[in-house]
Amino acid sequence: MKKRNAWLGLILLALLLGAGGRALWLWLDRPIERVSIRGEWEYVSADYLRTQLAPLVQEATWLSADLGELRQRALRIGWLSEVRISREWPNALVFELVEQTPVARWNDDFLLNPQGESFAFAPLAVPQGLPDLAGPTGSGEEVLTYYRRLTPHFQGLSLSLSQLRLEPRGAWRLQLSNGAWVMLGRRQHEIRLARLSASWQRELAQVGDHIRYIDLRYPNGVAVAWHGESDFAEEDEE
């Protein structure tokens, strides 16, 4: 009989603890009333981030909120490269946010980060002074890498690149800081760039502001189109 009473006592204690734990959980699992954001940002503002994050926690509760899922949803905000979330007593979530670093504009509607990954910039404005890059979907890293390779070459000619384009068929074209376009094509890039450097240093630098196009796709020379002239025919050459 005593043994039976002991078991009943343990069962009652377990039920009381369970009921108490359930009540404690419900008391703690209250709606989220405050969202704190932390970080250092150059391009985004705290107000913008709060506006973007508010819908994510609108119906969440403090203990039941899935922080991993919230993090993945927050990373869909284009300007964020890293998100860390923690709970803060009694009813707040803390978001530690790292913004993307834009290094180039990409296909008009996107920006590239230093890894060549694209992200949407809207509704914010595009930062000033970024090069304009473009290419097929998924080629951001390739185009950015080639832009970085080309930059010191043109710096040696006292030029910079304002645009770089990778065409769907694999041809490259670029725009110099003076507005002239250079048709580089699909192959023999080093040879063609060396030919451009020689021509630029020899004579083209003096008339650079009058150049519309420089076509390097010829086997043994450079074709130049000038402002005020009709377009020359683009060869179907690599």
Please determine, for residue 30, whether its predicted confidence score (pLDDT) is greater than 90.
Answer: no
In order of their start, the domains of the chain are: 34-99 (3.10.20.310), 104-226 (3.40.50.11690)
For residue 1, the model assigns a pLDDT of: 53
For residue 236, the model assigns a pLDDT of: 40
The model's pLDDT over 130-175, given as tens digits with 9 standing for 90+, comes to: 999 999 999 999 999 999 999 999 999 999 999 999 999 999 999 9
Three-state secondary structure of 12-79: HHHHHHHHHHHHHHHHHCCECCEEEEECCCCCCCHHHHHHHHHHHHCCCECCCCCHHHHHHHHCCCCC
For residue 230, the model assigns a pLDDT of: 62
Hey, what amino acid is at 125?
A: A
Please determine, for residue 9, whether its predicted confidence score (pLDDT) is greater than 50.
Answer: no
The model's pLDDT over 80-111, given as tens digits with 9 standing for 90+, comes to: 999 999 999 888 999 999 999 999 999 999 99
Beta strands 172-176 and 161-166 are antiparallel
Q: Are 165 and 172 in contact (CB under 8 A)?
A: yes
Q: Are 112 and 102 in contact (CB under 8 A)?
A: yes
For residue 63, the model assigns a pLDDT of: 83
The Cα-based distances of 82 to 71, 87, 212 in angstroms read 9, 17, 43
The model's pLDDT over 174-218, given as tens digits with 9 standing for 90+, comes to: 999 999 999 999 999 999 999 999 999 999 999 999 999 999 999
Please determine, for residue 28, whether its predicted confidence score (pLDDT) is greater than 80.
Answer: no
Average pLDDT over residues 42-71: 91
CA–CA distance, 164 with 148 (Å, rounded to integer):
11
Beta strands 132-134 and 118-120 are unpaired
Tokens of 150: 């080309």
